Amino acid sequence: MVSSGKESRIYWGKSFNNENLAVKIYLTTSSEFRKGMIKYLAGDPRFKEIPKSTRKLISMWARKEFKNLKLMYNVGVKVPKPISQHENVLIMEFIGDDGMRAPLLKEVELGLNEYEDIFYKVINDVRKIYKYAGLVHGDLSEYNIMVFKGSPYIIDVSQSVKVAHPNSYDLLLRDISNIVNFFRGLGLKTLDIHEVVEYVINGEYEDVGEF
């Protein structure tokens, strides 16, 4: 087992082509988790009916993460490549080497220039997610970004919502606040949080670099 949380467990596996896979199994059936899921499903035009069955709800949650990953991956965002989903099981690309997951952004120790590069890559990916995938991550922080071979990978996208969701702006503002505050805590000078939000929504696209 690679990692375990209250909501799911992730295992390392191999495909028939010997590719490294991450197998994510949603386990939680608590009423608290159910309430947490519903607030991200309600208002999403892709999921008009919320199942009363907890098993069906968790299956929908796994399917939501799979769809979100596909939307992000298809527009060039650094996320694990989605492979397959069935009921409460999601299979995706494994980010790491030989069963050892890549570290989270919170766990790495880098130079300021490296942190600066990662910051701009993350913000530009947030913008791709917003403008081209039509989504907002909804829970982005240093705990939901992996760093692998010098690149940040955004993970845990089950709660991501469509831009049309009534709470999408507030969720985007929270995502940007988390990221900006984290990098400012490392000594990086950044634009104001609202300026970064404005860039994500309306700015011209840049691969990497100051905006």
**pLDDT digit string (tens) for 61-119?**
999 999 999 999 999 999 999 999 999 999 999 999 988 999 999 999 999 999 999 99
Mean predicted confidence (pLDDT) in 160-185? 96
The catalytic site residues sit at 139, 156
- Determine contact, residues 142/182, Cβ cutoff 8 Å: yes
> CATH 3.40.140.10: does it fit domain 100-202?
no
What ranges do the domains of the chain cover? 3-97, 100-202
Check pLDDT > 90 for residue 50.
no
Check pLDDT > 50 for residue 208.
no
Mean predicted confidence (pLDDT) in 153-173? 95
Confidence at residue 55, expressed as pLDDT on a 0 to 100 scale: 85
CATH of domain 3-97: 3.30.200.20
Indicate the pTM of the whole model: 0.90
